[in-house]
Amino acid sequence: MKRRPFIKQLVKFSGGALLTSQLPLIYACAKPTQNKKLGIALVGLGSYAGGQLAPALLETEHCYLAGIVTGTKEKESVWSNKYDIPKSNIYNYENFDSIADNDAIDIVYVVLPNSMHAEYTIRAAKAGKHVICEKPMATSIEDCKKMIAAAKNAGKKLAIGYRLHYDPFNDQMMKLGQNRVYGKMNIESSFAFNMGNRNQWRAKKALAGGGPLMDLGIYCIQGCIYTFGELPTSVSARYTTINEKNWPEVEGSIDWELTFPSGKATCSTSYEKQYYGHLTANTEKGKLMLSPAFVYNGLRGTTPDGPMTVKPVNQQAKQMDAFALNIINNSKILVPGEMGLRDNYIIEKIYESANNDGKEILLSNLPQILDLRKI
């Protein structure tokens, strides 16, 4: 669907209520009020930072890779040579706080194991830097609240690394679902892969906070919320781990069901199965689906009217450019810390239900955590 016919179709089905201000950020980004590119420092140089974020920063228009923070001395020269990073912009975890004195760095992107997100987000905010924190925001809602408070007290912006809000396939899923273009619906969503190396930090509760629910299932939770355009009212969940011997600290698999005001969402996630990842709305007029839904590239979407024909983008580049524009223009963030807090709250309730044999848990406090912003 081309952009103009697509917008006309949405206006038709929404009774003309779709406003220009509701267009997706990737199509309607405000122009910057200044020409300066903002400097980003990556904290933690693991596979995501090296394989996705750093290359994406070579494509961004409003920010660039200005610095790094690593505990591995050997990585310093490798990254410095590859990305032309001056020695003055290279930090380790001991001298990290001195980043406060570096005017070349405007944004700190925390790409560490989950249990370290809170500490380095708070330290970065206290150092006077804006922060992007990878998902999940933290390992507890208490830490999420501390992170939000630290950014607020420092007068700095805090975003969560929810790249799919800047992906055109997921963006179209949001609009078609929220505007009920194909009528009422129920949703199914799953995300899994087979984790061959169970010695990594993601399999250790102290570092990850949980298993695939924290790592992969959070995408399913997000997808259901932004497709319905509603907050869930209750959840029930059960552990479905296939081989418990392999997972002494975290779940290997878990299934859950979210109840929304206008429908149900059935979800699952696993570290024990072959890769799959989809977001499917079973509507009155047929399937509205992304499969694969949550990967970096190669996404595919289908609607009851045929395939989605949107143009793929570099999700990470769009995400970081959007945050830079939020800072430059002092505009609202599409994926603020409050959204991360919301999702951590839901995750904790999913675990609570699974730990109580699938007991239905009401999400009565959820609307107070974050008012949902529809598109």
Q: Which residues are catalytic?
A: 135, 219
**Nearest to residue 319, comparing CAs of 308, 335, 332, 331?**
335
pLDDT tens across the length of the chain (375 residues): 443 344 334 434 433 333 222 334 443 344 444 568 999 999 999 999 999 999 999 999 999 999 999 999 999 999 999 999 999 999 999 999 999 999 999 999 999 999 999 999 999 999 999 999 999 999 999 999 999 999 999 999 999 999 999 999 999 999 999 999 999 999 999 999 999 899 999 999 999 999 999 999 999 999 999 999 999 999 999 999 999 999 999 999 999 999 999 999 999 999 999 999 999 999 999 999 999 999 999 999 999 999 999 999 999 999 999 999 999 999 999 999 999 999 999 999 999 999 999 999 999 888 776 655 554
Q: What is the pLDDT of residue 294?
A: 98
Expressed in angstroms, the distance from the first to the final Cα of the chain is: 18
Angle at which helices 3-13 and 168-178 pack, to 10 degrees? 20
Q: Position 69: which residue type?
A: V
d(CA 83, CA 90): 12
d(CA 123, CA 110): 11
CA distances from 10 to 41, 178, 289, 293, 320 (A): 40, 10, 18, 22, 28
d(CA 77, CA 79): 6
| pLDDT tens digits, one per residue of 49-78 | 999 999 999 999 999 999 999 999 999 999
CA distances from 363 to 137, 229, 266, 280, 290 (A): 19, 16, 16, 23, 27
d(CA 282, CA 260): 15
Q: What is the pLDDT of residue 6?
A: 43
Q: What is the pLDDT of residue 15?
A: 37
Q: Which two tokens stand for residue 360?
A: 């239905």
**pTM of the entire predicted model:** 0.91
d(CA 342, CA 324): 23
Q: What is the pLDDT of residue 25?
A: 41
**10: which residues sit within 8 A by CB, 6+ positions away?**
18, 175, 176, 179, 181
Q: Position 95: which residue type?
A: N
- The domains of the chain, with CATH numbers, are 23-162 (3.40.50.720), 168-312+337-369 (3.30.360.10)
| pLDDT tens digits, one per residue of 346-357 | 999 999 999 999
CA 61, 66, 72, 75 torsion-angle sign: positive
